[in-house]
């Protein structure tokens, strides 16, 4: 069985989508539809920069989604392939969960773009710049990371935000607590702690104002049951009920991205092939979490054509 997976924030880069749009009318239509939905020239920022504009959370989130969905749409339309025939499940890392839901027909493209724009704005506004921080812990499993977060908190927020794979966990919270955690890594048997260049402390309780904003937006959004179940970040379990999906997307803003657990659960459920669309971040994580799985990143037309032959 196969799962289609979609990357999260950090996978953006200036020039993204340019070659694909030049090679495919289908891709150009996706980028134009996103621009129209947002009322901005996001595709120009994606292809030309400047980089600081692309990395703004409110731009990066819809941009990463647009690039992933364009890649998938080219495969579907030019390859005559239906997602439901080729994938048993979909999943995405953080904002990638929205891409996964769009891919599986639960959200239309314009709605997905607008929700991610709002999500980015709400997450940025939830915490004043400089108050929060995030750090990647290298050589840390979930138990070591949790122990470190508990020790560093000292009355502030310090929690596991992303359980990415057996060797990488990300923590999030108040800047002081995250800085303390980095100083304490060796005491907890962790190789290294690296402060991440992010503008807000995602996936921790400090994001509650953003969760409230998304609860309101999702309540009004048209969301259908997906064509195939989506593995939700916060439960690491498949879900196909529209109202449950909405509730989990709200919970996801402050909750842990249980990516490692999701990959292991999918593998245990018979998924032995993972195809990442629009990025090359998740495939290596998959291989570290489920070593016997096949994981492929699909970005270029060459990648798409190679995948067509293998499906």
> Residues with catalytic annotation?
94, 203
**Locate tokens 């937006």: which residue?**
217
Secondary structure of residue 49 in the 3-state scheme: coil
* DSSP summary character for residue 8: -
Which residue(s) pair with 160 in the sheet? 171
Query: Each residue of 181-191: b (16+ CB within 10 Å) or e?
Result: bbebbeebebe
* Side-chain-facing half-sphere of 16: CA atoms under 13 Å: 34
In degrees and rounded to multiples of 5, residue 270 shows phi and psi of 100, 0
Rounded Cα–Cα distance for residues 32 and 165 (Å): 35
Rounded Cα–Cα distance for residues 67 and 257 (Å): 21
State the pairing for strand pair 168-174/158-165.
antiparallel
State the pairing for strand pair 168-174/238-239.
unpaired
Rounded Cα–Cα distance for residues 252 and 8 (Å): 13
Q: Which two tokens stand for residue 310?
A: 């293998």
């Amino acid at each position: 069985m196969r799962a289609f997976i979609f990357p999260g924030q950090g996978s953006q880069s200036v020039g993204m989508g340019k070659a694909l749009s030049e090679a495919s009318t289908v891709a150009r239509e996706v980028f134009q539809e996103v621009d129209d939905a947002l009322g901005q020239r996001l595709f120009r920022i994606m292809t030309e920069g400047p980089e600081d504009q692309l990395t703004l959370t409110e731009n990066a989130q819809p941009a990463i989604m647009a690039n992933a969905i364009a890649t998938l749409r080219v495969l579907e339309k030019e390859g005559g392939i239906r997602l439901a025939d080729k994938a048993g499940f979909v999943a995405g890392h953080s904002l990638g969960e929205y891409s996964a839901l769009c891919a599986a027909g639960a959200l239309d493209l314009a709605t997905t773009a607008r929700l991610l724009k709002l999500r980015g704005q709400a997450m940025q506004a939830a915490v004043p710049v400089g108050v929060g921080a995030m750090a990647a812990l290298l050589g840390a499993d979930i138990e070591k990371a949790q122990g470190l977060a508990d020790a560093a908190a000292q009355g502030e927020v310090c929690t596991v935000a992303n359980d990415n794979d057996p060797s990488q966990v990300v923590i999030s919270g108040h800047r002081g607590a995250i800085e303390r955690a980095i100083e304490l890594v060796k005491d907890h048997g962790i190789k290294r702690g690296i402060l991440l260049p992010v503008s807000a402390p995602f996936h921790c309780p400090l994001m509650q104002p953003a969760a409230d904003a998304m609860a309101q937006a999702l309540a009004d959004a048209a969301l259908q049951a997906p064509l195939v179940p989506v593995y939700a970040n916060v439960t690491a379990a498949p879900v196909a009920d529209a109202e449950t999906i909405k509730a989990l997307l709200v919970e996801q803003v402050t909750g842990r991205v249980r990516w490692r657990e999701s990959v292991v659960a999918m593998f245990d459920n018979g998924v032995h092939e993972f195809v990442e669309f629009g990025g090359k971040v998740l495939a290596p994580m998959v291989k570290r979490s489920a070593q016997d799985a096949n994981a492929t990143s699909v970005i270029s037309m060459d990648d798409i054509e190679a995948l067509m032959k293998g499906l």
